Amino acid sequence: MTLTQKETSLLNDLKSSEQLCIEKYEKGMKEASDPALRDLFSSLRSTEEGHLGTINRILGGEEVQSMAAPTAESQTYDSPLSTCSQSEKEKDAFLCKDALAMEKHVSSVYNVSIFEFNCPTLRDTLAHIQKEEQNHGQQLYQYLSKNGMYC
């Protein structure tokens, strides 16, 4: 598969974004007080690692298979309410809101990239990843909302 210079540039931007997501979720796992939030960050980090692998395969010239749309189940966040202290909840809310802002940004980078790719399979792959990023945002929002942290 031959990529244009613009496609390569966009993929490198996406690669940097995915690496940042992984680093932030790793840091969040270490800093979060609520075990449920640590688990959520761990799950999201794992998905981001998969995204990074896909981007690296595309950059490496590998053919990628069209990906199925993420399921609705991946959008659902269900865990017990946080029992952390108020100061711990404030710290967790900051971490979660920061992650939500990151997901919004990453999703927008994917959105722009989708329009710039010629290959339908690559557009579908990027759209699939973008939908997963949107699902991450929904899970973070649900955590914040459930714990009275989203205003």
* CA–CA separation, 13 and 113 (whole Å): 9
pLDDT tens for residues 50-109? 999 999 999 999 888 766 555 544 556 677 777 778 888 899 999 999 999 999 999 999
Which DSSP symbol is given to 80? Answer: P
Angle at 139 between CA 133 and CA 144, to 5 degrees: 130
> Which domains can be identified in the chain, with CATH numbers?
5-146 (1.20.1260.10)
pLDDT tens for residues 7-64? 999 999 999 999 999 999 999 999 999 999 999 999 999 999 999 999 999 999 988 8
- Give the total residue count for the chain: 151
The string of DSSP letters for 81-144 reads PP---HHHHHHHHHHHHHHHHHHHHHHHHHHHHHHH---HHHHHHHHHHHHHHHHHHHHHHHHH
